[in-house]
Chains A and B, each alone.
Chain A
Amino acid sequence: MAQPLLQVEDLRTQFFTTRGVVHAVDGVTFHVDAGETLGVVGESGCGKTMTALSILRLLPDPGKIMSGRILFRGKDVTKMTDEEIRDFRGNDVAMIFQDPMTSLNPVTRIGSQIEEAMTAHERFTETLARGRVIELLKRVRVPAAESRVKDYPHQFSGGMRQRAMIAMGLSNEPDLLIADEPTTALDVTVQAQIIQLMKQLNRELNTAMMLITHNMALVASLCQRIIVMYAGRIVEEGPVEQIFKSPQHPYTWSLLRSVPRVDEARKDRLVSIKGLPPDLSHSPPGCKFHPRCPFVIDKCKDEPEPPLGEVATNQVARCWVLMRNVKQDDIDAAKQSALSKEAAEKLKAPTAELGGTIGG
């Protein structure tokens, strides 16, 4: 067995707030192979971003990695010295952030910001780095790259800024690129371009990617493997096609059911997941998803949380029930009940709003 590029073992990241300890990442184990694209999905606040920030040790105050190991090429990131972690960031693992509007320094030229990402490490000399900036911007298809290196971020559109961020991330040819919701802040046409670009770069440079998102379409088009997170835990993991075709955890199923599809006839209504994700300082006992789960049984509440069990080849899920054991009638009922109150009201609300706007 070859060693994976990144191996995260039983990672626990906690935030010590005045309201109690928040278990943002609660015993997460996964790996990323070289050249692979891994999707990490889940609702907001389920610990996806904190897992990524833990890998780079960039947790905001008062967050702390409490236990677990993060092995990159066999070396434990949590035990690195300040200088080692500095050289590791951006060089071995680079990260792209969600909001390109605020992720670039507004008073520094785009070119210099990309250049300093390279000169911070010893791989490129200053002259070499300067020459590479234009090349990188061309690679991420920034038009007129020669003149735009001198621009400031406010002279770039959102999509262009995200391209610049990607160029910055790739500038040191890292082995792993973590992209935290790279398309969420962009409009749809630009999203498609960025996805296309990332796909191509992954193919050409063989950079492994860890894509954090709640956009299922993005996962489907980019990733080979997928991790579903809920309340700081991994609840399901497996190859993308398999999970999309037969999700076994009710949470994964609900996530997939809540995405509209254009290519299929609209025989099914969208399903919304009732309620909110749990407060991570007081998670429920038993399976953490049971208060919101449409297929909940007594075992889910009474017994401790189920382990991640193998449900198919390469696919694991953390559930007592599993979707393949749920009767079709119950599934239909779940779709109906999800629609009955909340979805029905949601359907009404925009209409009323629209009427108001037109009337006014």
Chain B
Amino acid sequence: MAISEGRSGRGALLPLRMSQLAGSRGGSLAIFVGKRILWMVPIVFFVILITFVLMHLAPGSPWDRTGGRQLSQAVMNNLNIKYGLDKPETEQFKLYLWNVIHFDFGLSYQYEGKSVVTLIGGGWPYTATIGFLAFLLIVPVGISLGVVAALRQNTRVDYITMGFATFAASFPNFVIGALMVVVFSVVLYKATDGNFFLPSADFGLDSHLIMPVITLSLLPIAYTARLTRASTLDTIRQDFVRTAWAKGLPERLVVIRHILKNSLIPVVTTLGPTFAFLVTGSVIVETVFNIPGIGRAFVVAVSSRDYPMILGTTVLFSVIIAVANLVVDVAYVFIDPRVRLT
């Protein structure tokens, strides 16, 4: 009786607080973010479910060895028992979920005794650093190239910029990466007395970053520049830009306050997914430059059926993508007053 009273009391208070919160813009933003974070729970659940099903539907088992000596049936049975693979799949799924709720992502099958969290914790910093640096390069370079091309439409500046963008977008990562290695690390090796950034056996977070960051950035820079140019050209022809000129504003203010403030809105939308793409790693870039990152670890895990590792990285990726999209949506509130939170 006392409990039910307490509950009804709380239930009555809660909507009141919610409505107070919703009254202010900051409050409604907090509610919006809270809701979106709660939504991540079902999202991650379905990501796990789908990955789990696909993983178990795929032929092969973690104990297959390509070439070489196969493990005996007895050893495989023991391994299955050790990692709980002898149980029915639904049982395994429930167990995995239960562990995930307790932030236990299990042990890797490939590396004896190493947990998935340790492996991801070891690899992801490299990937995230490269991705983050690439992002810091892409945003200013891509946007300014696009804006300059648009403001000087159909001039040499425009043609050179867009020519570069087309070039950067058409060359595959591994070609550019390998080309850079050849040019900088082989041909220029003597010229720089061997001091130049080399892809080496032990990759470190230092000048080793330069080439992979550039390789990873080229394509997104090209996309961002093209999108920015298109969007800026579209804005330049808008009536309110003519109004701005008619007021007698200097060119600098027309460009910054009226053109860019509007033309960059669609660009921001794409930056969220771009960021997610960058920090989840690129197998190619990590392979070319011998980076012990998560992108490569993920591909290796898939090919060796390292179930806990596959699930762990997938969960990480899905959370990153969900958070990046949330950040974009929140950013929208600040850059476009027409956006309403619902």
Show the binding face of A for B, using Cβ within 8 Å: 56, 58, 60, 86-91, 94-95, 97, 99, 102-108, 116-117, 120-121, 152, 154, 165, 168
Contacts and interface: CB of A to CB of B under 8 A. Distances in A.
A90 B246 CA distance: 6
A88 B245 CA distance: 11
A87 B337 contact: no
B242 to A, nearest CB: 6
A68 B242 CA distance: 23
8 contacts: A60-B242, A89-B245, A90-B247, A90-B249, A116-B253, A120-B250, A121-B248, A154-B337
Given A89-B248, A152-B337, A107 B261 contact: yes
Nearest to A155: B337
B77 to A, nearest CB: 65
Nearest to B265: A107
A120 B261 contact: no
Contacts of B261: 105, 107-108
B118 interface: no
The B interface is mostly helix, strand or loop, or mixed, namely: helix
A87 B239 contact: no
B105 to A, nearest CB: 43
B239 to A, nearest CB: 4
B238 interface: yes
Contact of A105 (B245, B258, B265): B258
B185 interface: no
B10 interface: no
Contacts of A103: 239-240, 242-243
Contacts, number: 79
A277 B258 CA distance: 35
B336 A120 contact: no
Minimum-distance CB pairs A-B, first 7: A90-B248, A89-B248, A102-B239, A90-B247, A117-B247, A152-B337, A105-B240
Given A102-B240, A117-B248, A165-B243, 9 more contacts: A60-B242, A89-B245, A99-B239, A106-B240, A108-B261, A116-B253, A120-B247, A120-B249, A120-B253
Contacts of A102: 238-240
B120 interface: no
A261 to B, nearest CB: 33
- Do most interface residues of chain A lie in helix, strand or loop, or is the interface mixed? loop
Nearest to A92: B248
Contacts of A108: 257-258, 261
Nearest to A94: B246
A129 to B, nearest CB: 12
B246 A56 contact: yes
A88 B240 CA distance: 19
B156 interface: no
Contacts of B249: 86, 90, 116-117, 120
B246 A152 contact: no
B17 interface: no
Contacts of B247: 89-90, 94, 116-117, 120, 168
Interface in B89-138: none
A165 B240 CA distance: 11
Contacts of A106: 240, 262, 336-338
